Amino acid sequence: MVIHRFREERYKEELLKLIKGGEGFSSQIYSDKGGIPTIGYGYALLTKKGDRFIPRPSWKRDFERANIDISWWEEEKLEDFLEEIANNPPITREKTEKKLREYYQDDPVSALEITEDEAKSLFFVAVEWYQNFVKRKIGEEAYRYYQYSREFIPLVSMAYNRPALFNNPNLIKAIKNFDRVRAYMEIVYHSNPDKNLGIASRRKREGDYFGIWDRKEPSIEESLHFFEVFNGERMEGIPVAEYVKRYEREFAPVFGLKPGAVAYRGKSILAYADQAFGQVLAYFPQGGELSADRTNYHYPIYLEGTSIRIG
């Protein structure tokens, strides 16, 4: 697996760009889909402790490190707001949005608002924790290879969105083994436990950023490995090809699918299957009888007279 490393400044720019695409920017506090008060580029103001949420212990220190100056009355008002949300479970988006309307309408002068530059500074303070979190999960040896790389950016983005995704042993194994194809499959198709359309779109962006091939076109080794995984392995107890087909149908807009229509190959796994199949055809022009069902997600490949048999 070829690692594509950036200079540190370029890495930071690309990291912000990818996460910004998933989080968006808000100068005011807003509720995320789970009801958690959030500001800037997805900076959550509550955090989980045991089975309940509490105000983020580091928020004052993070604001100070990001050079965000707030007055004592702004701080007091925000603390009261966060305590009220945390101490009145269950936390829901509807309840938080109602409290936010009151927060900004009752005393607008004391309500928190930050600039985009301040949000950017806050992001880089907060993201340090998530980078170190991924480092701990994949181990020091793998981290030395991935540090400041294109491949590390989507991993940090996933952790920033949902750290629990790194409890998936198959993802960790693929990353540690520098197995790009398996890592791509885990990121795109196996990291959306709540089956949410918005998250499916985010995972697709992260997976495409990570990349399924080392370069624009796959090598013959990558192509054969793709079919080994795609046709020969299982996810959630069913063949990968079938699992992927079901997932893409469930989140059809993400993959360019329309009811009754063939997948738009530019967004579907079929686009990569086409690339890999083309490499196999080019590499084994005299390999004997070659057959493939190119209308479905399953590509059985039989090269008679060789040791290659995939499917």
What residues does 309 pair with on adjacent strands? 302
Question: Percent of the chain having pLDDT more than 90?
Answer: 78
What is the SS3 assignment for 311? coil
Query: Averaged over 141-166, what is the pLDDT?
Result: 97
Inform me whether the pLDDT recorded for 306 exceeds 50.
no
Inform me whether the pLDDT recorded for 93 exceeds 80.
yes
Dihedral, 163, 166, 19, 47 alpha carbons, nearest 10 = 0
pTM: 0.88
How much is the mean pLDDT over the chain?
A: 90
Reported as a single tens digit per residue, the pLDDT across 178-235 is 999 999 999 999 999 999 999 999 999 999 999 999 999 999 999 999 999 998 899 9
Reported as a single tens digit per residue, the pLDDT across 21-56 is 988 999 999 999 999 999 999 999 999 998 999 999
pLDDT of residue 294: 46
Query: Averaged over 238-249, what is the pLDDT?
Result: 93
Reported as a single tens digit per residue, the pLDDT across 254-281 is 998 775 555 556 688 988 998 998 898 8
Torsion 98-77-35-160 (CA) sign: positive
**Structure tokens given for 59:** 């928020």
Is 71 or 295 the better-scoring residue by pLDDT? 71
Distance CA 300, CA 294 (A): 9
Question: Percent of the chain having pLDDT more than 70?
Answer: 89
**Structure tokens given for 126:** 């907060």
Distance CA 16, CA 153 (A): 9
pLDDT of residue 56: 97
Nearest-10 crossing angle of helices 180-189, 240-250: 40
Distance CA 170, CA 176 (A): 10
Give domain limits for the chain.
24-118, 168-310
